[in-house]
Chain A
Amino acid sequence: MRDTTAEGYVTADGRRIGGVLMEMRNITLRFGGVKAITDISFDIREGEIRAIIGPNGAGKSSMLNVISGFYVPQEGEVWFRGQRRPPMKPYQVARMGIARTFQNIALFEGMSVLDNVMTGRLTHVRSGILDQAIWWGRAEREEDEHRAKVERIIDFLEIQHIRKTPVARLPYGLKKRVELARALAAEPRLLLLDEPMAGMNVEEKEDMCRFILDVNDEFGTTICLIEHDMGVVMDLSDRVVVMDYGKKIGDGPPDEVRRSKAVIDAYLGVSHD
């Protein structure tokens, strides 16, 4: 049985989920007159795969953008590792160990796959310009370490064959995978994925599902992902937040959420009044 106390819980397949890693409290986000998010609270636990689902325009991406600092909510608090997080720039959030991918892919199109994934290591690079000038050897050793880690991730995601290919030449599905590789290279504590499987064929989707599960399993990375495909969400996630028109209309394990009337109505397009 599920035990959602402060200590966490054990999943059906025996994975141990820890305490709260990230908590959103009463988040409200407006764009002029449009309310993208209305008073939403939920948490993400250590080691968990947390999904956010909802119809188009529900505010899912906006929520991910709030977590990663790209949007600043007008109201509400963001708590990370037991501390309230002051308003932060995206690059500061990244340096706290939160990595992400984008719904419409943001890669460095002019760089090779390898260079793209290497940029994921930037938050871990210690040597600056001066170090490099003075301690050439040390900086070089550090570079080798980063390179080794990146190569491991490239192997892990099975993209060795395109290591040197300029990203601009890759098909969509592979680009998504490179973006995941870059996020993983940061060795994040929390990984945010905005529709990692959108626009993929069935085979690519299956691969991506496997990678997400493996990442969570092997590196113990906490993952929060947005996905449209209900089947995929059911297979992957431990708990699901359901959004509709900027409001939270469901939160719980997938099988429970799927049976909830509010969720069924939202997905079947029952009118709001």
Chain B
Amino acid sequence: MMPDVVFYTAEVMVNGLMAGVLYALVALGFVLIFKASGIFNYAQGVLALFAAMTLVGIQNGQVPFAHLVNAVFGTKVHHFGWTVPSLAAIALTALVMVGLAIAVERLVLRHLVNQEPIILFMATIGLAYFLEGLGDVMWGAEVKRLDVGLPQGMSGLIDEVTFNWFGYGFFIDRLDIAATAVAVALVVTLTLFSQYSKQGRALRAVADDHQAALSVGISLRFIWVLTWSIAGFVALVAGIMWGQKSGVQFSLSLIALKALPVLMLGGFTSIPGAIVGGLIIGMGEKLFEFFVGPMIGGATENWFAYVLALIFLVFRPQGLFGEKIIERV
């Protein structure tokens, strides 16, 4: 008979992996935009929040800008009086994210071509706070419940099967399993898209060299809209998972903070890096909390990821899969 601690550890690891999938998803959004345009998109977390708010709003048939409309016209509209099925609402929200991508390109990026990266970074900070405000004005600032019908709660099947096999029932949330499945599907789709489609090829070209990309007939503006749309869609998926778990509220935008150590670990330009980095951070964080947390008073999940990333950074500044950069002199 295996000691219980082995099972505990395995269970904690599996749960950590599932949390890691979400971190990876958010980090992926950062990597996509960074690769295509060299912009560190501070707004990625708010993008997830905005997407989740919009999804809930559309699902519930909320009137956008209701407060504003009522204040200006003296009306009392709040709801259209219908609800939209989950899948249709997700599709509509995806369209809104594409619209947002177009607006960002038109109103911001286009005017900042060839600016220093720090200027673009500042622009995304501005964008983050603008979007946060826009989300509140459009859909209201209260905490919202998000439910797109994903399974939730302990998986009885896994509990039973593992109990029969090992004499120890694993506790795994069905939402985590669903999230993992969706994230895997998303990553596979993105990889196929980038490897085999015309737009994907163009995207890789732009990520590699702007000048060369222009010379083979690629429109940078189109590629920016495309990457921001994809990043918006990835944010939507992350927003759905996180929102269903802990409700749609401001703190959802803070998942971006979880993605930072993942990026430090995986590198800013590597898609596999974001995925593996996410899994390592997710798992490491849970294991550390489980084994070391009790000795030092717990709540290690807030900082452990950063410390891990920092230590890693000192030894491998180029990230997990990055090539070692040797300065030419």
- Listed in ascending order, the chain A residues whose CB lies under 8 Å from chain B are 68, 70, 89-91, 94-95, 99-100, 102, 106-111, 115, 118-120, 122-123, 125, 127-129, 132, 182-183, 186
Residues of B within 8 A of A (CB): 193, 196-199, 201-202, 204-205, 208-209, 211-220
* A90 partner residues in chain B, CB cutoff 8 A: 214-215
Q: What 5 A-B pairs are tightest by C-beta distance, nearest first?
A: A94-B217, A106-B212, A123-B217, A108-B208, A90-B214
**Residues in B whose Cβ lies below 8 Å from that of A120:** 216
* Complex contacts, B211 vs chain A, CB 8 Å: 70, 102, 106
A102 lies within 8 A of B193 (CB): no
Q: How far is the CA of A119 from the CA of B212 in the complex (A)?
A: 10
Residue of B nearest to A132 (CB): B197
For residue A106, which residue of chain B has the nearest CB? B212
Residues of A within 8 A of B199 (CB): 128-129
A119 to B44 CA separation, bound complex (whole angstroms): 30
B214 to A108, Cβ gap below 8 A?
Answer: no
CB distance from B242 to the nearest CB of A (A): 28
B216 touches which of A109, A119, A132 (Cβ 8 Å): A119
Whole-angstrom distance between the Cβ of B85 and the nearest chain A Cβ: 23
Q: Is the interface of B mostly helix, strand, loop or mixed?
A: helix
Asked if B212 and A122 sit within 8 Å, CB to CB, the answer is no
Our pick among A102, A107, A110, A128 for the contact of B198 (Cβ within 8 Å) is A128
A111 and B204 contacting across the interface, CB-CB below 8 Å: yes
Which one of B204, B205, B214 has the greatest number of beta carbons of chain A within 10 Å?
B214
Distance of A94 Cα from B220 Cα, bound (Å): 13
Max chain B C-beta neighbours (<10 A), residue from A68, A107, A109, A110: A110
Instruction: Give bound CA distance, A90 to B212, whole Å.
Output: 10
Q: Which residue of A lies closest to B207 (CB)?
A: A110
Query: In the complex, how many angstroms separate the beta carbon of A113 from the nearest chain B beta carbon?
Result: 14
Chain B residues closer than 8 Å to A128, beta-carbon distance:
197-199
Task: Establish whether residues B216 and A107, one from each chain, have CB atoms under 8 Å apart when the complex forms.
Answer: no
Query: A122-B202, A128-B198, A132-B196 are contacts. A186–B217 as well, Cβ < 8 Å?
Result: yes
A109→B209 contact, CB < 8 A: yes
| Cα-based distance from A183 to B216 in the complex (angstroms) | 8
Besides A91-B214, A108-B212, A119-B213, 19 other A-B contacts (C-beta < 8 A): A68-B215, A89-B214, A89-B219, A94-B214, A99-B216, A102-B212, A102-B215, A106-B212, A108-B205, A108-B208, A108-B209, A110-B208, A123-B216, A123-B217, A127-B198, A132-B196, A132-B197, A132-B198, A186-B217
- Whether B209 pairs with A106 at a CB distance below 8 angstroms is yes
Which of these, A68, A91, A109, A132, contacts B218 with CB under 8 Å? A91
Residue on B nearest A124 in the bound complex, by CB: B217
For A183, what are the chain B residues with a Cβ–Cβ distance below 8 Å? 215
- Interfacial chain A residues near B214, Cβ < 8 Å: 70, 89-91, 94
6 contacts between A and B (CB under 8 A): A99-B215, A102-B215, A109-B208, A111-B204, A132-B198, A183-B215
Cβ of B98 to closest chain A Cβ, rounded Å: 13
When chains A and B are docked, how far (Å) is the Cα of A4 from the Cα of B201? 44
A58–B197 Cα distance when bound, in Å, is 42
Distance (whole angstroms) from the CB of A110 to the closest CB of chain B: 5
Assuming the contacts A106-B209, A108-B205, A127-B198, asked whether A94 and B193 have C-beta atoms less than 8 A apart, the reply is no
Q: Which residues of B contact A89 (CB under 8 A)?
A: 214, 219
Min Cβ gap A93→B in Å is: 8
Complex-state Cα separation, A23 to B196, whole angstroms: 39
A108 with B204: CB separation less than 8 A: yes
Q: In the assembly, what is the distance between CA of A115 and CA of B217, in Å?
A: 15
| Nearest CB in chain B to that of A185: its residue | B216
A122 touching B220 in the complex, CB below 8 Å, given contacts A106-B212, A111-B208: no
* Contacts A106-B209, A108-B205, A111-B208; A122 near B215 (Cβ below 8 A): no
Chain A's closest residue to B199 (CB) is A129
* Min CB gap A260→B, angstroms: 33
Given A108-B205, A122-B201, CB of A182 within 8 Å of CB of B216: yes
Instruction: Kindly report which residue of chain A lies nearest to residue B220, judged by CB atoms.
Output: A91
Complex Cα gap A90–B204 (Å): 18
B217 and A129 within 8 A (CB)? no
User: Which A residue's beta carbon lies closest to that of B210?
Assistant: A106
